[in-house]
Chains A and B, each alone.
Chain A
Amino acid sequence: MLKFLAKRVSATIIVITLISISVFMIFSFLPMDPAALTCGKACSPVIIEANRHRLGLDVSVPVQYGRFVKGLFVDRSWGEGAAQFSCPAPGFGYSFNRHQCVTELIAEAFPVTFSLAVGSFILWMLLGISLGIVAAKKQGKWQDKFATGFVVAGVSLPVFVTALLTFIFGIKLKLINPIEMGRWVSPFTDPVGWLKTYYLPWIVLALFSSAAYTRFTRSNVIETSSEDYIRTARAKGLSEKVILRKHTLRAALAPLLTIAGIDFAVLLGGAIFTETIFNLPGLGRLSIRAVQIDYDLPVILATTMLAATFVVVMNLIVDILYAYLDPRVRVG
Chain B
Amino acid sequence: MKPFLEVKNLSVSFPTEDGLVRASDGISFTVSRGETLAVVGESGSGKSVTSLAVMGLHNRKSTNISGEAILNLPTGPVDTISAPSEVVRKLRGKSMAMIFQDPMSALHPYYTIGNQMGEAWGLYNEGSKADGIKRAVELLDLVGIPDAAKRVKEYPHQFSGGMRQRVMIAMALMNNPSLLIADEPTTALDVTIQSQILQLLRDMQKEFNMAVILITHDLGVVAEVADRVCVMYAGKIVEQSNIDDVYYQPDHPYTIGLLNSIPRVDRLGDHRLQAIPGQPPSLISLPPGCSFRPRCAHARLVPNNRCATDVPNLDEKLPAHFSRCHLTESQLVQVRTPTGGLI
Contact surface of A with B, Cβ cutoff 8 Å: 227-229, 231-239, 246-247, 250-251, 254, 325-328, 331
Contact = CB atoms under 8 A, between A and B. Distances in A.
Contacts of B123: 236-238
B120 A229 contact: no
A235 B93 contact: yes
Contacts of A247: 108
Nearest to B95: A237
Nearest to B85: A240
Contacts of A235: 55, 57, 92-93, 97-98, 100, 172
B89 A237 contact: yes
B109 A228 contact: no
Interface in B68-118: 89-94, 97-98, 100, 102, 105-112
A229 B119 contact: no
Interface string B40-69: 000000000000000101000000000000
Given A327-B155, A327-B157, A228 B105 contact: yes
A238 B124 CA distance: 10
Given A228-B100, A325-B110, A327-B155, A237 B93 contact: yes
A236 B171 contact: yes
7 contacts: A231-B106, A232-B100, A232-B108, A232-B168, A235-B172, A250-B110, A326-B109
Nearest to B102: A228
Contacts of A326: 109-110
B9 interface: no
B105 A229 contact: yes
> Looking at A229, A232, A237, A328, which has the most chain B CB atoms within 10 Å of its CB?
A237
Contacts of B97: 235-236
Nearest to A328: B157
A294 B77 CA distance: 84
A232 B119 CA distance: 12
B94 A237 contact: yes
A228 B104 CA distance: 9
Contacts of B92: 234-237
B49 to A, nearest CB: 13
Contacts of A228: 100, 102, 105-106
A87 B101 CA distance: 69
A326 B90 CA distance: 30
A331 B102 contact: no
Contacts of A325: 110
A327 B110 contact: yes
Given A232-B106, A236-B119, A327-B155, 8 more contacts: A235-B97, A236-B93, A239-B89, A250-B110, A251-B108, A251-B110, A326-B109, A327-B109
Contacts of A246: 119
Interface of B: 55, 57, 89-94, 97-98, 100, 102, 105-112, 119-120, 123-124, 155, 157-158, 168, 171-172
A238 B100 CA distance: 17
B57 A238 contact: no
A246 B119 CA distance: 11
Contacts of A227: 105
A264 B207 CA distance: 56
Nearest to B115: A246
Contact of B108 (A229, A234, A237, A239): A229
Contact of B119 (A238, A254, A328): A238
Contacts of B106: 228-229, 231-232
Contacts of A233: 108
A241 to B, nearest CB: 11
B57 A237 contact: no
A254 B102 CA distance: 23
Report, nearest first, the 3 A-B pairs whose CB atoms are least far apart.
Answer: A237-B93, A237-B92, A228-B105
Contacts of A239: 89
Contacts of A327: 109-110, 112, 155, 157
B119 to A, nearest CB: 7
Contacts of A328: 109, 155, 157
B275 to A, nearest CB: 30
A235 B157 CA distance: 21
Contacts of B105: 227-229
Contacts of B102: 228
Contacts of B111: 250
A231 B100 contact: yes
A247 B98 CA distance: 18
Nearest to A250: B110
B84 to A, nearest CB: 13
Nearest to A233: B108
A163 to B, nearest CB: 39
A246 B118 CA distance: 14
Contacts of B172: 235
A182 to B, nearest CB: 47
B110 A237 contact: no
Nearest to A234: B57
B195 to A, nearest CB: 24
A224 to B, nearest CB: 10
Q: Which of A235, A250, A328 has the most CB of B within 10 A?
A: A235
A32 B181 CA distance: 78
B291 to A, nearest CB: 28
A232 B155 contact: no
A239 B124 CA distance: 12
A331 B158 contact: yes
A147 B210 CA distance: 47
A251 B120 CA distance: 19
Contact of B120 (A236, A254, A331): A236
Contacts of B90: 237
Nearest to B92: A237
A324 to B, nearest CB: 10
Contact of A229 (B55, B109, B124): B109
Contacts of B55: 235
